[in-house]
Structure 1
Amino acid sequence: MSGAKLIEPLPAHRFDPSPLFAYLHTHLENFPRDAGLRQFQGGQSNPTFLLETATHKYVLRKKPPGKLLPSAHQIDREYRIQQALQGSGVPVAPMRLYCADPTLIGTEFYVMDFLPGRVFGDVLMPELTPPERGALQQDLFTTIGRLHALDYAACGLQDFGRPTNYAARQLARWRGQYEAAQTEDLPAMTQLMDWLGAHLPERDESAIVHGDFRLGNMMVHPSEPRIIAVLDWELATLGHPLADLAYCCMPFHLPHIEGPLQGYGGFDLAAHGLATEDDMLALYCRVAGRTGIADWKFFLGFAIFRSAAIAEGVYARALAGNAADARGIAMHGVTKVMAQSGWDIVR
């Protein structure tokens, strides 16, 4: 949304907007027969567009074109969970409509309200003062704690995923996704996958998990250090909350590389107004109602492995001309860095 660069739709994602505008004129209150249409650059998965009318702004999310990996890009699930979380205490954008008809713009899509705000692509948040960085970091971990504390059945999401055996199923799924997209042999990635398979946690838990919970997927208030919406729910499901938490904690364990998966490596956290991982884990436990965290090495290794697999998938789509962001061609380098970082953590 706001904070991301707006561009003319990429060639692979262009469509005739006339049928879309006609549909929205019929199904969305006060939507005119014509509107402005531009694409957000920054998302690596589902193409996202800004729709502008004289009185309102909307965001449209759709599937990418072309052949897709199994079970990927399920935007109907994105729409459903954000609709279910309205008023839950976990901030999400207001949903407007979902359309399953692929004939209008080539794929199914949904429309939500545009929220003016800021998205921070750098985990060090250079635009903010140290106290603001600390406040936003605390809000990030408070928000994920609130998400995991929700009763998913009370939210109507009891069938949103399989609540048991999450770690083993996810490891198998992402290993398959990685191997389907793999472009070269990376020994660190193979060793990491094998280690994770041999060290699955014995204790199982279930909560609503976002799947991509990080600073870059938070819409921040235009002038205050607080989150007004959690974005990009494509990977959301029912699963082990510590997998979600470990993903949110990855910056504590990664170098400060270019791209969406950055770390704090080489920087003084206190000088930047940021707390330590231990401090944020303690805050999370208080909010989520936990007494402790087990199998942390596994969940950190798994979070980094899965991120490496996703990066390789983005790179494979970029090679095929289907990536939602023109920078996808650089993601193979991210895969290499992530694989090595994950293997260094677990071994």
Structure 2
Amino acid sequence: MDTMQVRSSERLDVDKLHAFLESYFTELPQGKLEIAQFSAGHSNLTYCLKIADFEAVLRRPPLGPVAKKAHDMKREFTILSALHPFLPSVPKPYVYVEDRDIIGSDFFLMERKKGIVLDTHFPKGTEPTEELARQLSELMVDSLVALHAIPYQDTPLKDIVKPDGFLERQVYGWIERYENAKTAEHAEVAMLTEWLKNNLPSNHEATIIHYDYKLNNAMFSEDYTEIIGLFDWEMATVGDPLADVGVAMSYWMQADDPKMLLYALGEPPVTVLPGFYTRQQFIDRYAEKSGRDVSAIHYYCTFAYFKLAVICQQIYYRYVQGQTQDDRFAQMDKMVAALIQQASQSI
């Protein structure tokens, strides 16, 4: 996973952090603390900490005001702690730190995993054959099926989740979030939100869901035969597993998608290349492997496009309000428009 020099506005206090690491890790090697920042992700800030041969990953909330209940570091740490014993691709969590004097916020540390993360390109030396594309598609489906098979009642998550009424809360909650972060009028939104309210499926099954499941949140082994890392668990909860599939499909682009959707934030992901599953193939394999009825998946995909539009709108709102100076967010309104259009055209 690519790291870069820490953005000037998002630097950490090296001395205080080094002192904490020395107090917590009993066999920490001698040496200078080096901090790099992971370039991916638009939400929580993620850093690589390195002292000699010691490495760990630090997660903290973004700078500036954040939405209520969002970016909850303690909750994400609890989720990792619950899931790691069942799914080794979940990073091993080390410690949650509430003390805000160290870096200016709470944070947690977890293991550093090393492998291949795919986004818009394959690394040099990898030939993206159709066979490899199919293999990666299958791994992505099967990993999601495995996550949904974990018995959440046997984990600490049973005490922090409310699966009853999950989807209805989600739909109404994301509609409210959109209204609170609106910066422009989109004519399609009124019809879209009414349709979402009036066509709620009646599925009551609940499983652990990642809820941000996408290719660049997965890490593959060097030979691409297994997923060795799954990241960004801040949205994970217990709820309707088909909502998780819908979210995965909102990220899973295919070559015949509208150009506005494909290129709104730059180059499209590698899933547009020959051999990668279409969304329908992904859904079909999920149904086969999980045994679930996916006849209502159309609703979940439509809602997922709207939900993703709201997430992008919240990020863009923070940028417009001057709460973040990250230039990556300046064009985020184009992605909002593309996603709303994609959702509207599917109803």
Please report the TM-score for the alignment, with normalisation by the length of structure 1. 0.90
Q: Which residue of 2 aligns with 1:26?
A: 23
Where does residue 55 of structure 2 map in the other structure?
57
Q: State the match for 1:277 in structure 2.
A: 279
Letter of the structure 2 residue corresponding to residue 222 of structure 1? E
From 239, 259, 265, the equivalent of 2:265 is 259
Give 3-state SS (helix, strand or coil) of 2:91's partner.
coil
SS at match of 1:140: helix
- Cα distance in 2 for partners of 1:26, 1:97 equals 12
CA offset digits 1:78-107 (Å, max 9, x no partner): 211112112313611121111111121111
1:206 paired residue number: 206
Q: Distance in 2 between matches of 1:127 and 1:258?
A: 26
CA distance in 2, matches of 1:127, 1:339: 35
Structure 2: tracts of 5 or more residues without a match? none
Q: What's the TM-score, normalizing by structure 2?
A: 0.90
Equivalent in 7, 10, 17 of residue 9 of structure 1: 7
Counterpart of 2:119 (choices 118, 121, 146) is 121
Matches within 5 A, 1:20-169: 20-31=17-28, 32=30, 34-89=32-87, 91-122=89-120, 128-169=128-169
Structure 1: gaps spanning 5 or more residues: none
SS at structure 2 position matched to 1:222? coil
In structure 2, C-alpha distance between the alignment counterparts of 1:190 and 1:127, rounded to whole Å:
45
Quick one: distance in 2 between partners of 1:116 and 1:275?
A: 25
How many Å separate the matches in 1 of 2:101 and 2:131? 49
Q: Deviations over 1:24-53 (max 9, x none)?
A: 111123235741012122210001111111
Change (3 A) 1:123 1:151: farther
Q: Please state how far the C-alpha of 1:262 moved relative to its aligned partner.
A: 4.9
How far is 1:123 from its partner?
A: 8.4
Compared with structure 1, are the counterparts of its residues 300 and 28 closer, same or farther at alpha carbon in structure 2 (3 Å cutoff)?
same
Give the 3 Å change call, closer, same or farther, for CA 309–91 of structure 1 in structure 2. same
Contact (CA 8 Å) 2:210, 2:235: kept in 1 or not?
yes
Deviation for aligned residue 1:299: 0.5
2:313, 2:336 within 8 Å by CA — same for their partners in 1?
yes
Checking the alignment, whether the CA contact within 8 Å between 1:22 and 1:33 is kept in structure 2 is no
- Tell me, yes or no, if the aligned pair for 1:146 and 1:287 is still in contact at 8 Å: no
Task: Say how many residue pairs are matched.
Answer: 338
SS at match of 1:313: helix
Q: 1:58 to 1:264 in 2, by over 3 A?
A: closer
| TM-superposed deviation, 1:15 | 3.1
For residue 317 of structure 1, what is the aligned residue in structure 2? 318
Which residue in 1 is equivalent to 2:246? 246
Looking at structure 2, the residues matched to 127 and 322 of structure 1 have their Cα atoms a distance apart, in angstroms, of 42
* Alpha-carbon distance between aligned partners in 2 of 1:195 and 1:328, rounded to the nearest angstrom: 29
Question: 1:99 touches 1:110 (CA, 8 Å); kept in 2?
Answer: yes
Checking the alignment, whether the CA contact within 8 Å between 2:118 and 2:270 is kept in structure 1 is no
Bigger relative CO (Cα 8 Å, ≥ 6 apart): 1
- Residue matched to 1:308: 309
Say if 1:216 and 1:260, in contact at 8 Å, map to a contact too.
Answer: no
Evaluate the alpha carbon distance shift between residue 176 and residue 262 of structure 1 in structure 2; reply closer, same or farther with a 3 A threshold: farther
CA distance in 2 between counterparts of 1:206 and 1:9 reads: 39
The answer to whether the Cα contact below 8 Å between 2:115 and 2:221 also exists between their aligned partners in 1 is: yes
Residue range with higher mean Cα deviation, 305-314 or 94-103: 94-103
Residue 275 (structure 1) shift: 2.8
Q: What residue in structure 2 maps to residue 297 of structure 1? A: 298
Q: Aligned partner of 1:132: which letter?
A: L
- The answer (yes or no) to whether the contact 2:56–2:110 under 8 Å persists in 1 is yes
Q: How far is 1:333 from its partner?
A: 0.7
RMSD: 2.4
Q: Secondary structure at the match of 1:178?
A: helix
| Distance in 2 of aligned mates of 1:58 and 1:71 | 26
Which letter maps to 2:24?
H
Compared CA separation, residues 328 and 285, structure 1 to 2 (3 A) = same
Identical residues among aligned pairs (%): 28
Q: Work out whether residues 43 and 324 of structure 1, in 8 Å CA contact, stay in contact via their aligned partners in 2.
A: no
- For residues 319 and 49 of structure 1, the distance between their equivalents in structure 2, rounded to whole angstroms, comes to 25
Residues 328, 102 of structure 1: CA spacing in aligned structure 2 closer, same or farther, 3 A cutoff?
same
Question: Is the CA contact 1:130–1:273 (under 8 Å) kept in the aligned structure 2?
Answer: yes
Q: Identify the residue that residue 339 of structure 1 maps to in structure 2.
A: 340
Other-structure match for 2:330: 329
